[in-house]
Amino acid sequence: MHYEVFLIDVDDTVLDFHRSALEALKRGFAACKLPYDERMAKEYASFNAELWKRLEVGEITRKYLMENRFHLFLEKMGFTDANGAKFNRAYLKKLSSNPYYIKGARRFLRKVGELGEIYFVTNGTSWIQQSRFNRCGLWEYARGTFISEDLGYDKPSPLFTEAVENGIGGFEKGKVLWIGDSLSSDILAAVEGGIDCVWFSGGKRLPEGAPQPTYIAESYADILKILGIK
Task: Pick the more confident residue, 41 or 230.
Answer: 41
Give the pLDDT confidence score for residue 56 in this predicted structure: 86
Beta-bridge partners for 8 = 120, 179
Residue 33 has pLDDT above 90, yes or no: yes
Correct CATH for 5-16+101-226 of 3.50.50.60, 3.40.50.1000, 3.40.50.300, 2.60.120.10: 3.40.50.1000
Residue-range domain boundaries for the chain: 5-16+101-226, 17-97
198-214 pLDDT per residue, tens:
999 999 999 999 999 99
Q: Which pLDDT band holds residue 57 (cuts at 50, 70, 90)?
A: confident
Residue 67 has pLDDT above 70, yes or no: yes
Give the pLDDT confidence score for residue 173 in this predicted structure: 95
Residue 107 has pLDDT above 80, yes or no: yes
For residue 110, which of 1, 3, 6 has the smallest C-alpha distance?
6
Give the pLDDT confidence score for residue 147 in this predicted structure: 97
79-101 pLDDT per residue, tens:
999 999 999 999 999 999 999 99
Give the pLDDT confidence score for residue 135 in this predicted structure: 96
Give the pLDDT confidence score for residue 31 in this predicted structure: 96
- The whole-number average pLDDT for the span 211-224 is 97
Q: Give the Cα separation of 10 and 31 in Å (integer).
A: 28
Give the pLDDT confidence score for residue 230 in this predicted structure: 73
Edge-to-edge strands, sheet with 5-8 = 144-147, 117-122, 5-8, 176-180, 196-200, 215-217
17-97 topology per CATH: DNA polymerase; domain 1 (1.10.150)
Residue 198 · residue 215 · CB < 8 Å: yes
Give the pLDDT confidence score for residue 154 in this predicted structure: 92
Q: Give the Cα separation of 124 and 127 in Å (integer).
A: 9
125-180 pLDDT per residue, tens:
999 999 999 999 999 999 999 999 999 999 999 999 999 999 999 999 999 999 99
Residue 1 has pLDDT above 70, yes or no: no
Q: Could you give the percent of the chain with pLDDT greater than 90? A: 92
- DSSP labels, the chain: ----EEEE--BTTTB-HHHHHHHHHHHHHHHTT----HHHHHHHHHHHHHHHHHHHTTSS-HHHHHHHHHHHHHHHTT-TTS-HHHHHHHHHHHHHH---BPTTHHHHHHHHHTTSEEEEEE-S-HHHHHHHHHHHTGGGG-SEEEEHHHHT--TT-HHHHHHHHHHSTT--GGGEEEEES-IIIIIHHHHHHT-EEEEE-TTPPPPTT----SEEESSHHHHHHHTT--
